[in-house]
A = this chain, B = another copy of it.
Amino acid sequence: MTSSDQRPTRIVMKFGGTSVADLDRIRAVAERVRIERDKGHQVAVVVSAMAGVTNQMVGYVQALDPMADACEYDAVVASGEQVTSGLTAIALQTLGVPSRSWQGWQIPFRTDDAHGKARIGDVEGAALIACMERGEVPVIAGFQGVAPGERISTLGRGGSDTSAVAVAAAIKADRCDIYTDVDGIYTTDPRIVKKAKKLDRITFEEMLELASVGAKVLQTRSVGLAMKEKVRVRVLSSFEPETELSGSLVVDEDEMMEKELVTGIAYSLDEAKISVSRIPDRPGIAAAIFSPLTAARVNVDMIVQSVGSDGSTNMTFTVPKGDQARALAALEAARGDIQYGEIHTANDVVKISVVGIGMRSHSGMASTMFQTLAERGINVQVISTSEIKISVLIDAEYMELAMRALHTAYGLDGE
Q: What is A's interface to B at a CB cutoff of 8 Å?
A: 23, 26-27, 57, 60-61, 63-65, 68-69, 71-76, 78-80, 82-83, 85-87, 89-91, 93-94, 100-101, 103, 105-106, 150-152
Contact = CB atoms under 8 A, between A and B. Distances in A.
A69 B87 contact: no
Name the residue in A68, A69, A85, A100 with the highest tally of chain B Cβ atoms < 10 Å from its Cβ: A69
A388 to B, nearest CB: 43
B100 A72 contact: yes
B105 A90 contact: no
Contacts of A85: 75
B72 A89 contact: yes
Given A83-B57, A150-B106, A152-B103, A91 B76 contact: no
> Is chain A's binding surface mostly helix, strand, loop or mixed?
helix
Nearest to A94: B65
Name the residue in A63, A74, A87 with the highest tally of chain B Cβ atoms < 10 Å from its Cβ: A87
Contact of A73 (B65, B74, B86): B86
A61 B90 contact: yes
Given A101-B72, A103-B152, A150-B106, A65 B90 contact: yes
A165 B355 CA distance: 63
Contacts of A90: 61, 64-65, 68-69, 72-73, 76
A73 B69 CA distance: 29
B94 A26 contact: no
Contact of A100 (B64, B71, B89): B71
A170 to B, nearest CB: 18
Contacts of A57: 83
Name the residue in A61, A71, A79, A150 with the highest tally of chain B Cβ atoms < 10 Å from its Cβ: A79
A350 B186 CA distance: 71
A91 to B, nearest CB: 5
B65 A93 contact: yes
A32 to B, nearest CB: 16
Contact of A75 (B26, B72, B101, B151): B101
A329 B268 CA distance: 73
Given A61-B87, A64-B90, 17 more contacts: A23-B64, A57-B83, A64-B94, A65-B91, A65-B94, A71-B101, A72-B90, A72-B100, A74-B86, A75-B82, A75-B101, A75-B103, A78-B82, A79-B79, A79-B83, A103-B152, A105-B105
A83 B158 CA distance: 20
Nearest to A105: B105
Nearest to A89: B72
Nearest to A62: B90
A351 to B, nearest CB: 39
A115 to B, nearest CB: 11
Contacts of A80: 79
A26 to B, nearest CB: 7
A87 B83 contact: no
Nearest to A79: B79
A60 B103 contact: no
B83 A69 contact: no
A27 B100 CA distance: 36
A61 B93 CA distance: 12
Contacts of A93: 65, 68-69, 72
Contact of A87 (B76, B78, B87, B101): B76
Contacts of A63: 23
A105 B146 CA distance: 12
Nearest to A63: B23
B83 A60 contact: yes
Contacts of A89: 69, 72, 75
Contacts of A105: 105
B60 A23 contact: yes
Contacts of A26: 64
Contacts of A86: 61, 72-76
